[in-house]
Homo-oligomer: A and B are copies of this chain.
Amino acid sequence: MLSFESDYIQGAHEKILERLAETNREPLSGYGNDKYCESAKEKIRQACGCEEAEIFFLTGGTQTNQIVISSMLRSYEGVVAAETGHVSVHEAGAIEHSGHKVLTIPGHEGKIKAEELAAYLKAYWEDTSHEHMVFPGMVYISHPTEYGTLYAESELASIAGICSKYNIPLYLDGARLGYGLMSRETDVTLPKIAQYCDVFYIGGTKVGALCGEALVFPKKNIPAHFLTLAKQKGALLAKGRLLGVQFDTLFTDDLYFRISAHAIEMAEKMKEMFREKGKRFFLNSPTNQQFLILEDGEMARLQELVKFDIWERYDEGHTVVRFATSWATETGDVENLREIMPSGGQ
């Protein structure tokens, strides 16, 4: 069945499978101590324009968020995030499970506002009894957000400035970073992210890899003994090569950017088609995730023809749904979707 359910419904880019096969029998040391990990790290440093970046490969997003947050915070600190942030809502409490509160501020189509962050931090530090409250020790943003939206460079700069003022790190969750970087409506680049953020990850799982996220510490600030911290959370792969080869491939010949751009092209086609069909958009997303408001009856009928993600209830009678493209979406898929998608959107 046709599926736009998510950007992780297919395997890996074929180039990755190829390289895995080519390198398969080479004997390599475990735990990331291999030449492919080294090469991948070097290529990522180049792409980030950051010679001194320290990089660590992990397998998934929640794992990465949990390790970053718990290793960079003191036990009395929490992480500030949008109410709709992945760490707030959809990680089964992984952050709290590691001992830290997620301190929420309003989300605006998935984004936090610099001025609301500033007001939150100001109010916190002026509160006379903050010794009995969780200290805001880090700011978490996702880019693209869970709603597909993006921060402008100026917004990133403002948020980074506030973090800097309060001396807390800014962490950017880039589970879908490629799709953000290749959006037609962004002025944010990888080097700028490395400049504004204290830590971020470049998502692989949703951008062409079988699994894997490249965690980047651009400012010589990787927590001491990070490998052991990862091991202790069960996050250290014995065959680190699996991550090294994948990221080495993704960052060779701009593969990561090219396949991300392809997903964006497919998303733009799909978006245009939705517009032509008169569908009702929940919000304007410039990336690979598109959100529609469907009448429940229409939704039920569509579910028999195509897989998509049910996001949240909109009101009595309507539901927000998500259609996602990915590196693997083909033009034919969008054409097929066009054929089964009825016109009209109320």
Q: Which residues of A contact B (CB under 8 A)?
A: 1, 3, 5-6, 8-12, 14, 17, 20-21, 23-31, 59-67, 70-71, 74-76, 78, 89-94, 96-102, 123, 127-129, 131-135, 205-206, 210-211, 224-225, 227-229, 231-239, 241-242, 307, 310, 312-313, 328
Q: A21-B21, A76-B225, A234-B234 are in contact. List 11 more A-B contacts (CB 8 A).
A: A9-B30, A20-B210, A62-B234, A91-B232, A92-B131, A93-B99, A93-B101, A99-B99, A131-B227, A211-B238, A211-B242
What DSSP secondary structure best describes chain A's contact surface?
loop
Most buried by B among A228, A241, A310: A228
Contact present for A205 and B239 (CB under 8 Å): yes
- A232 — which chain B residues lie within 8 A by C-beta? 75-76, 91-94, 97
Contact present for A30 and B8 (CB under 8 Å): yes
- A99 — which chain B residues lie within 8 A by C-beta? 93, 96-99
Number of copies of this chain in the oligomer?
Answer: 4
| Bound Cα distance from A17 to B16, whole angstroms | 11
Contact present for B9 and A24 (CB under 8 Å): no
Contact present for B94 and A78 (CB under 8 Å): no
Contact present for B92 and A96 (CB under 8 Å): no
Most buried by B among A59, A205, A328: A59
Known: A74-B224, A76-B229, A238-B205. A5 touches B27 (CB 8 A): yes
